[in-house]
Amino acid sequence: MTIREETEAIERQTLSRYATLSENSLGRRVPLEPDPIRPCFQRDRDRILHCKAFRRLKQKTQVFLSPEGDHYRTRLTHTLEVSQIARTISRALRLNEDLTEAIALGHDLGHTPFGHAGERALNRLCPGGFSHYRQSLRVVDYLERDGQGLDLTWEVRNGIVTHTSGAWARTPEGCVVRRADHIAFLNHDIEDAITAGVLDARQLPPEAVAVLGHTKSERITTMITDLVAHSGNGKINFSPEVEAAYAVLKDFMYATVYVDKEAKREEKKVDKLISELYARLCDEPALMPNFYMQIAYNEGVDRAVTDYISGMSDEFATRLFEELFVPQKWKVL
């Protein structure tokens, strides 16, 4: 037996009967020879971890645009936190941790620069709209590796495209990542908002605090513990009490922090920056790299410009805007 086959045998013996076994994967669009060491979902995890889109997450906004300070979340740190929470839940439920981790690491690969402000801008501009979860799937299916894509398994792709809203994933591991994403972004956004002075912890709804806890650690622990205790038969659920407390806390954040004038004062500039870049690149697609020029030829200029802008980091988008629209100093040779 190869090491991979031994690992697959261990999965059969130790994982829950509801877990997604590596050997039962529905496979890839382009079949690959089995790896002698890594089961298929571990292989997917590695492909995501080493791709360019994953590295760009380190310079993409989570909530606060270009914050001054080392301890605010970026899209990369958010992704890692989601991955760890999801792995903890999957291990407790004896689900497939490799599949869970692969979905978690890939779930935000298609996110725009400047967080949800950038996503809203592209959604307004792009014919047919734009959503980061569909773009994440496009990244792994096509945009990575110069148009070859990462050729991930069906289960990982399904978990990525269903991680936000709408239909739930077809695997319990994908459902775990969706819950972990909600646990992570809500609690970490609260911590960042307190650090930024936008929120005082005493403002949090007392009915939610009474159920979930007073600190980030208490709330995350409560939500993970509750989820593990009330999940079963392949379904990943909170108890009604915790689900209700989570909803109260989320509504509070959307009514206060996510619309705070001080925290969001720069977002109008994001709309202007994205709009100007979009219009200019549509008018002059030759400003884009050759790879995106090929997309423009095959799928239309709008599609190419959307792919190009959505893949930018905050820093790159700002620098390109300055190059295209801000007069440069005259240099005397």
pTM of the model: 0.95
If you ran DSSP here, which 8-state letter would residue 168 be given? P
Confidence (pLDDT) at 172 = 98
What's the whole-number average pLDDT of the chain?
93
Among 87-101, 197-211, 265-279, which is the least confidently predicted range? 265-279
- The residue ranking higher by pLDDT, 248 or 267, is 248
Q: pLDDT band for position 257 (50/70/90)?
A: confident
- The residue ranking higher by pLDDT, 261 or 314, is 314
Amino acid identity for residue 115 in this structure: G
Alpha helices in 126-264 (DSSP H): 132-138, 154-161, 172-195, 206-212, 216-230, 240-255
Domains of the chain, first to last = 3-197 (1.10.3210.10), 267-321 (no CATH)
Q: pLDDT band for position 261 (50/70/90)?
A: low
| Span 311-326, average pLDDT | 95
**pLDDT tens-digit series, residues 167-197:** 999 999 999 999 999 999 999 989 988 888 8
Residue closest to 315 by CA, chosen among 56, 136, 51: 56
Confidence (pLDDT) at 247 = 97
Confidence (pLDDT) at 195 = 85
**pLDDT tens-digit series, residues 35-50:** 999 999 999 999 999 9
**pLDDT tens-digit series, residues 208-230:** 999 999 999 999 999 999 999 99
Residue closest to 35 by CA, chosen among 146, 153, 144: 153
| Span 56-73, average pLDDT | 70
Residue closest to 175 by CA, chosen among 137, 109, 251, 232: 232
Q: pLDDT band for position 74 (50/70/90)?
A: confident
Residue closest to 111 by CA, chosen among 150, 139, 80: 139
Confidence (pLDDT) at 267 = 79
Instruction: Tell whether the model's pLDDT for residue 69 goes beyond 80.
Output: no
Measured CA distances, 14 to 9, 19, 20, 95, 160 (Å)? 9, 10, 12, 9, 25
Residue closest to 96 by CA, chosen among 39, 148, 166, 144: 39
